């Protein structure tokens, strides 16, 4: 039996509630102002990644960790690319497939149950590989980057955004912060964050060349206040879906994380890497 915090189990369990808490994008927003609507900010992060990854018409894109398919449909509609989305969450893949049909983009967008650390897809079969907030959930990040490097064609790009570690956390500090990590693990699933420098090392060991590393912690910070507000406005629905305990862990996480961002323990980063 898989434990509750295993990412596949976790996402199957929280997907319905997260639509109330996060919306259709299961990722952070990129804010110009803290009052920007959340949806505009999450779309802006997708656009930023697309621009950094130079996604264009008719390119084939692999979306590793596709959530409920909103970024993939958005990319296909906005940039005219073709996308295969993969996830280990069956619920996510089912909902993403339904979304693509409802939006009439199922000809350009498809979804499969597959693991980003061993995806089973053919070598050099994509122009771009995209990983938006999924890598922190993968324990073998070297395997993830190796798979990204394997399936992208020469001259193609891998573009990755995720929560990052901003500095080393000594064991004593981890133990001191154990309560925080319990809330975070319950709210977001089992995860391991790395620094942008470590992501670069993984990319380069996999034969990719990192061409951009960008810290966007400040621009993502307002996300937590938006999640917190959505939680308070949708308490009843969220409680019915993930219980009082689930609600409390999520609420606590929205209070813990801004301090981690401000103290530069955690943050948010973007990496673009190219295959020569
Ligand atoms: N990129 C999406 C979802 C981010 S949430 C969005 O921006 O909306 C993280 C996603 O990664 C979820 O869909 C989860 O099921 C998926 N995931 C977690 N571990 C994975 C793995 N090992 N392989 C593929 N997908 C994974």
Pocket around ligand 1 at a 6 A CB cut-off: 7, 11, 25-27, 64-67, 70-71, 86-89, 92, 115-117, 132-134, 137-138
Residue 4 pLDDT: 79
Question: Which of 19, 21, 30, 88 gets mutated to test ligand 1 (max ligand atoms within 8 A of its CB)?
Answer: 88
CA of 64 to the centre of ligand 1 (A): 7
- Name the residue ranges covered by the structural domains of the chain: 7-274
CA of 46 to the centre of ligand 1 (A): 15
Given the residues 133, 147, 194, 274, select the one marked as catalytic.
133
Which residue is listed with tokens 């308490």?
A: 235
Question: Which of 9, 74, 94, 137 gets mutated to test ligand 1 (max ligand atoms within 8 A of its CB)?
Answer: 137
Question: Which of 65, 73, 132, 138 gets mutated to test ligand 1 (max ligand atoms within 8 A of its CB)?
Answer: 65
CA of 11 to the centre of ligand 1 (A): 8
Q: What is the pTM of this model?
A: 0.97
**Is 164 in contact with 267 (CB distance < 8 Å)?**
yes
* Nearest-atom index, ligand 1, CA of 69: 8
Residue 5 pLDDT: 86
**Is 237 in contact with 164 (CB distance < 8 Å)?**
no
Rg of the chain on CA atoms, in Å: 18
* CA distances to 92, 99, 160, 219 from 68, in Å: 5, 8, 18, 24
pLDDT in tens, the chain (276 residues): 678 789 999 999 999 999 999 999 999 999 999 999 999 999 999 999 999 999 999 999 999 999 999 999 999 999 999 999 999 999 999 999 999 999 999 999 999 999 999 999 999 999 999 999 999 999 999 999 999 999 999 999 999 999 999 999 999 999 999 999 999 999 999 999 999 999 999 999 999 999 999 999 999 999 999 999 999 999 999 999 999 999 999 999 999 999 999 999 999 999 999 999
CA of 138 to the centre of ligand 1 (A): 9
Residue 1 pLDDT: 64
Sheet holding 208-215, edge to edge: 109-113, 82-87, 60-64, 126-132, 152-165, 266-275, 208-215
CA of 116 to the centre of ligand 1 (A): 9
For domain 7-274, give the CATH number. Answer: 3.40.50.150
Determine the Cα–Cα distance for residues 199 and 162; give it in Å rounded to an integer.
10
Is 133 considered catalytic here? yes
């Amino acid at each position: 039996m898989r434990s509750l915090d295993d990412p596949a189990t976790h996402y199957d369990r929280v997907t319905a509630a997260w639509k109330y808490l996060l919306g259709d994008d299961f990722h952070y927003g990129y804010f110009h102002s803290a009052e920007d609507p959340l949806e505009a900010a999450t779309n802006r992060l997708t656009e930023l990644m697309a621009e950094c990854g130079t996604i264009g018409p008719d390119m084939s894109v692999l979306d590793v960790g596709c959530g409920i398919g909103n970024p993939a449909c958005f990319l296909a509609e906005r940039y005219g690319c073709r996308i295969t989305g993969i996830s280990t969450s069956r619920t996510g893949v089912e909902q993403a497939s339904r979304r693509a049909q409802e939006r009439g983009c199922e000809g350009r967008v498809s979804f499969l149950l597959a693991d980003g650390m061993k995806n089973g897809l053919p070598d050099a079969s994509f122009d771009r590989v995209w990983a938006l907030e999924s890598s922190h959930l993968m324990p073998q990040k070297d395997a993830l980057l190796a798979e990204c490097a394997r399936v992208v064609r020469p001259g193609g790009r891998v573009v990755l955004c995720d929560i990052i570690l901003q500095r080393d956390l000594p064991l004593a500090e981890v133990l001191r912060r154990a309560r925080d990590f319990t809330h975070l693990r319950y709210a977001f699933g089992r995860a391991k964050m790395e620094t942008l420098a470590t992501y670069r090392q993984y990319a380069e060991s996999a034969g990719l060349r990192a061409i951009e590393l960008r810290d966007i912690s400040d621009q993502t910070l307002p996300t937590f206040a938006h999640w917190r507000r959505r939680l308070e406005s949708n308490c009843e629905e969220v409680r019915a879906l993930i219980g009082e305990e689930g609600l409390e862990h999520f609420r606590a996480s929205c209070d813990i994380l801004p301090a981690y961002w401000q103290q530069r323990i955690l943050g948010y980063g973007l990496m673009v890497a190219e295959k020569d």
